[in-house]
Amino acid sequence: MKKLFGLVFLILILVSVTNFTSSKLQTSNSLEGTWELVNRFNYDGGNVVDTLPNANGYRQVKIYSKGKVMWTRFAPDDPEDWFGYGRYTATDDVLEEQLEYGSKEMMKVVDTVDVFRFELHLYKDTYSQITLDDEGLPTFSENYKRID
């Protein structure tokens, strides 16, 4: 009987610790799925000063699945290929992407940046990843809509 109580107690502790340590992970909305870039914002002093719509057939798609991220873009005016693949983590307000490989041009960027860290605004069918400056003010964002 003592062994049974001990086992039940141990299971309760493990469940409690698991719930406590994973509480910061996304709970209400999820990045899991496929997203298409809608537009980008430029900021000045924390305020949006310019909206850059996709133009001339430009498309950018991101796929998040089981801790992995893959993205690609098509820009008819740019002869370079741009894509990347790697890992991601997300909490309620932070998105981090660590790319493992990508296109030739993207690998030049990856060689200088280990982890891409963004402020995350996530909703059911939209999200924004916002680049912050050294003072924590937004400078640039990419705004996506869910397409699956």
Overall average pLDDT of the 102-118 stretch: 94
Q: How many CB atoms lie within 10 A of CB 128?
A: 20
Is the CB of residue 107 less than 8 Å from the CB of residue 116? Answer: no
Integer distance in angstroms from the first to the last C-alpha of the chain?
A: 51
Residues in the chain: 148
- CATH fold of 27-146, please? Lipocalin (2.40.128)
Structure confidence by residue, pLDDT tens digits, 119-131: 999 999 999 999 9
CB hemisphere CA count around 87 (13 angstroms): 4
Structure confidence by residue, pLDDT tens digits, 28-53: 689 999 999 999 999 998 899 999 99
